[in-house]
């Protein structure tokens, strides 16, 4: 429960785990790795707080906030999979997709929203390999989608 204590201290609230929007499952465990599928930052089943392209209808700061929402959803899925966030040994990889307006190239700064959550909570163990990719569109005109791979404590 140490991670959840840190969350409370940082005023971060764990949402309900998002339900899949299509034909897939939220995570797959292979050995001591948990692969968590993509989510677009909808919290507790509510519509996206922001919609559209980052660098267009959505500011970089709003995109960063949506990436933080994605991270919180990942944590909710991880908790549902493992029963306890303290079972995460480390974050291995984060892939972020940014619905980018033409000419927008600051994808890494947007995806930092998710990275920062993991590092704030796990410190060095929250650091991870990463890709931040600009895309032409995302489902429901979401500004950001992320997916993660975590190593589980045995």
Cα–Cα distances (Å) from 15 to 30, 77, 104, 153, in that order, read 25, 9, 30, 23
Residue 30 confidence (pLDDT): 98
Indicate if the pLDDT at residue 43 is higher than 90. Answer: no
> pTM here?
0.95
Instruction: Report the candidate in 150, 140, 149, 151 with the shortest Cα–Cα distance to residue 66.
Output: 140
Indicate if the pLDDT at residue 39 is higher than 90. Answer: yes
> Tens digits of per-residue pLDDT, 72-114?
999 999 999 999 999 999 999 999 999 999 999 999 999 999 9
Residue 137 confidence (pLDDT): 97
Residue 73 confidence (pLDDT): 97
Token pair listed for 1: 């429960």
Residue 47 confidence (pLDDT): 86
């Amino acid at each position: 429960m140490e991670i959840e204590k840190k969350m409370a201290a940082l005023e971060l609230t764990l949402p309900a785990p998002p339900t899949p929007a299509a034909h897939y499952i939220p995570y797959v465990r292979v050995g001591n790795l948990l692969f968590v599928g993509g989510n677009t930052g909808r919290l507790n089943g509510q519509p996206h707080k922001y919609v559209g392209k980052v660098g267009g209808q959505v500011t970089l700061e709003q995109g960063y906030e949506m990436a933080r929402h994605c991270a919180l959803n990942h944590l909710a899925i991880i908790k549902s999979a493992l029963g306890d966030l303290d079972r995460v040994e480390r974050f291995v990889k984060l892939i972020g997709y940014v619905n980018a307006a033409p000419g927008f190239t600051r994808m890494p700064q947007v995806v930092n929203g998710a990275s920062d959550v993991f590092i704030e909570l796990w410190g060095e163990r929250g650091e991870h390999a990463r890709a931040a990719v600009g895309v032409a569109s995302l489902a429901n005109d979401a500004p950001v989608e992320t997916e993660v791979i975590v190593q589980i404590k045995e």
